């Protein structure tokens, strides 16, 4: 039997501490539902004592059915000099009705005497009273031992005494927290191993990423004997973030041969990471390990050649296992192998011997030398390949003319674009306004085309990037525009290059709409 690891998600509490992340009540509920479906074991919803929104979350959560996860509320050990049953913060935790209560307490003598200003024995009593009281109320209790590693390094006997107090009071998990994020993986291993040898309760690990070791330290903890790990989706968290569960989950399954979430959830990992980013309104990290867009991207002829033969030769796992996929990047480093793979990926049947293969390679190189870049513009590349494969197929539409103008009146300025497009025998002429020239042009083009192609109404522009390319001496600098569009299900990139930013943008927009019409 594979050894089990409990996955404890704190995206909604520790993750929500991150700068720029703000979850509404509805966001929190949506994320919790998704985490539950995915199969994490615990979802920490927040600290009911901190704000009404967290309290409301627990009221809502108590009414719902959770399939896999147990909901945890978060709070502190009782105040000094107050009986636990009279502590209003502890009452709030009970009122939250969550089946799990996570209690944070002090491990580091420095914090006990200097920050909390209580006697060492009083701190031990605060830990045990709180846990025992909650156990008597029938709760599952996770004890988060704050500053476990700094505390142990300073005063090992005292740190151990706090963990023992928690264990004796009945804590279900003693989670050692690396609160300041400054420890090395070797220190984590050593101290978790000590805890494991001295305690019988389940040991957990909670780490932060201040030195870039958030994930490494979490894994070191698991290797040293912990079987409960706390972290956040995409590593959100205060300062530089928490241990990233999106990396923890596949590491447990594919590298450690242990069981975390159900096996059937693993191919939905990328989707989960992206969903939480969307709700948090955070741009996906393209270089995110396992699930990022570039995680299985290959560039360079020989390398790509090898991938084609034996994927294992340059990939640590199959990308599909975590819902990702292999991408072949086209660049001026690329040989014919890259183009062939890319063409296949885009759904064209092309053999290396086909004369089109050479034509496409030559054309791509020519375009790249004049400023185009296809790495993030696979839709434009698909159109280029199609053009050569189908020997200049008939165009779905042509832009006959366009005009863009801008006017300012006092503070605000508005752009207006007019576009004339031809679709078969028909001509459509439309005007649109926008807060910028590209926005106006996009609006005008879309509404002109929507008359013949209603499906285009669903397409939206999600990103727009402009780069000025250095002009060769004596020539004007060129502008490269990269556009990302979506139909709500998939995203695609297109590119345009011109001395004029509007012309470059129009090219990219036209490609985007043409691709949208052809892709299904």
Q: For binding to Zn ion (CB under 5 A), which residues are involved?
A: 14
Angle between helices 378-389 and 355-369 (to 10 degrees): 140
105: its two tokens:
């307490």
Which CA distances in Å does 283 have to 286, 375, 484? 9, 19, 13
Report the b/e string of 285-313 with b at 16+ CB within 10 A.
Answer: beebbbbbbbbbbbbeeebbebbbeeeee
Ranked by CB distance to Zn ion, the top (closest) residue is: 14
CB of 124 to Zn ion, least distance (A): 22
Q: Is 284 exposed, middle or buried (0-12, 13-18, 19+ CB in 10 A)?
A: middle
Give, as one character, the DSSP assignment of residue 2.
Answer: P
To Zn ion, the closest distance from the beta carbon of 333 in angstroms equals 43
Q: C-beta of 102: minimal distance to Zn ion in Å?
A: 11
- The CB-of-204 to Zn ion minimum distance in angstroms stands at 12
Comparison of 145 and 343: residue with beta carbon closer to Zn ion: 145
**Tokens coding 233:** 């989706």
Q: How far is the CB of 229 from Zn ion (least distance, A)?
A: 12
CB of 213 to Zn ion, least distance (A): 14
For Zn ion, the closer of residues 127 and 482 by Cβ is: 127
**Smallest Cα–Cα separation from 142: which of 55, 59, 206?**
206
Among 291, 277, 271, 177, residue whose Cα is nearest residue 229 = 177
**Closest to 278 (Cα-Cα) out of 514, 489, 37:** 489
Helix (H) / strand (E) element for 185: namely helix 185-198
| Residue 220 three-state SS | helix
Query: Measured from the CB atom, is 174 or 497 closer to Zn ion?
Result: 174
Q: Are 404 and 441 in contact (CB under 8 A)?
A: yes
H or E, element range at 492: strand 491-498
Residue with tokens 């939480």: 276
Residue 496, helix vs strand vs coil: strand
Min dist. Cβ of residue 13 to Zn ion (A): 8
Number of other CB atoms surrounding residue 125 within 10 Å: 16
What's the min distance (Å) between Cβ of 206 and Zn ion?
6
**Whole-angstrom Cα distance, residue 205 to residue 181?**
12
- Cα 168 to Cα 450: distance, rounded to the nearest angstrom: 69
Q: How far is the CB of 237 from Zn ion (least distance, A)?
A: 7
DSSP string, 338-395: HHHHHHHHTT----TTSHHHHHHHHHHHHHHHTT---TT-HHHHHHHHHHHHTTSPPP
Q: Using the minimum distance from each CB to Zn ion, give the nearer residue, 11 or 334.
A: 11
From edge to edge, which strands make up the β-sheet containing 491-498?
Answer: 460-469, 478-486, 491-498
Give 178 or 375: the residue with its C-beta nearer to Zn ion. 178
How far apart are CB 14 and Zn ion at their closest, in Å?
A: 4
Q: How far is the CB of 209 from Zn ion (least distance, A)?
A: 10
Residues 273, 284: contact at Cβ < 8 Å? yes
User: Quick one: 128 or 230, whose CB is closer to Zn ion?
Assistant: 230
Residue 497's Cβ-side half-sphere holds a number of Cα atoms within 13 Å equal to: 18
Q: Considering the complex, what minimum distance in angstroms separates the CB of residue 501 from Zn ion?
A: 45
Q: Which is nearer to Zn ion, 176 or 419 (CB)?
A: 176
Nearest alpha-carbon partner for 231 in 41, 23, 457, 508: 41
> Closest separation between CB of residue 505 and Zn ion, Å?
44
Of residues 104 and 340, the one with the C-beta less far from Zn ion: 104
Distant-in-sequence, close-in-space partners of 409: CB < 8 Å, separation ≥ 6? none
């Amino acid at each position: 039997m594979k050894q089990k690891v409990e996955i404890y998600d704190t995206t909604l509490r520790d993750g929500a501490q991150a700068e720029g992340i703000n979850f509404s009540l509805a966001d929190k509920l949506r994320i919790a539902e998704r985490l539950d479906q995915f199969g994490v074991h615990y979802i920490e919803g927040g600290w009911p004592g901190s704000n009404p929104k967290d309290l409301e979350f627990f009221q809502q959560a108590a009414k719902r059915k959770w399939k896999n996860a147990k909901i945890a509320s978060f709070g502190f050990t009782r105040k000094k000099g107050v009986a636990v049953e009279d502590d209003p913060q502890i009452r709030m935790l009970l009122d939250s009705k969550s089946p799990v209560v996570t209690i944070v307490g002090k491990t580091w003598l420095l914090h006990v005497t200097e920050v909390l200003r209580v006697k060492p024995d009083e701190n031990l009593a605060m830990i045990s009273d709180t846990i025992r009281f909650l156990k008597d109320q029938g709760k599952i209790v996770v004890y988060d031992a704050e500053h476990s590693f700094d505390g142990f390094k300073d005063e090992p006997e005292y740190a151990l005494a706090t963990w023992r107090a928690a264990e004796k009071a009945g804590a279900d998990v003693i989670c050692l927290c690396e609160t300041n994020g400054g420890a090395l993986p070797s220190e984590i291993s050593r101290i978790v191993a000590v805890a494991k040898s001295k305690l019988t309760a389940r040991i957990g690990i909670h780490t932060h990423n201040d030195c870039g070791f958030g994930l490494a330290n979490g894994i070191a903890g698991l290797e040293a004997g912990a079987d409960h790990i706390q972290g956040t989706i995409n590593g959100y968290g205060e300062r530089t973030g928490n241990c990233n569960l999106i990396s923890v989950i596949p590491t447990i399954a594919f590298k450690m041969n242990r069981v975390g979430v159900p096996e059937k959830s693993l191919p939905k990992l990328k989707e989960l990471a992206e969903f939480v980013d969307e709700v948090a309104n955070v741009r996906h990290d393209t270089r995110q390990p396992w699930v990022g867009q570039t995680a299985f991207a290959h560039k360079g002829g020989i390398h790509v050649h090898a991938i084609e033969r034996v994927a294992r030769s340059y990939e640590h796992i199959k990308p599909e296992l975590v819902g990702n996929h292999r991408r072949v990047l086209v660049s001026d480093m690329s040989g014919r192998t890259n183009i062939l793979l890319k063409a296949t990926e885009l759904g064209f049947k092309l053999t290396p011997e086909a004369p089109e293969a050479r034509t496409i390679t030559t054309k791509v190189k020519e375009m790249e030398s004049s400023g185009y870049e296809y790495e993030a513009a696979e839709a434009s590349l698909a159109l280029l390949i199609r053009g050569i494969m189908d020997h200049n197929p008939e165009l779905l539409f042509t832009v006959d003319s366009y005009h863009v103008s801008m006017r300012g009146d006092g503070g605000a300025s508005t752009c207006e674009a007019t576009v004339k497009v031809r679709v078969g025998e028909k001509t459509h002429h439309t005007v649109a306004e926008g807060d910028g020239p590209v926005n106006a042009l996009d609006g005008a083009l879309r509404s002109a085309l929507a008359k013949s192609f209603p499906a285009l109404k669903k397409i939206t522009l999600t990103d727009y990037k402009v780069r000025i390319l250095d002009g060769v001496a004596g020539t004007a600098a060129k502008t490269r525009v990269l556009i990302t569009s979506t139909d709500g299900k998939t995203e695609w990139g297109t590119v345009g290059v011109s001395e004029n930013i509007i012309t470059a943008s129009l090219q990219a927009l036209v490609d985007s709409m043409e691709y949208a019409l052809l892709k299904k």
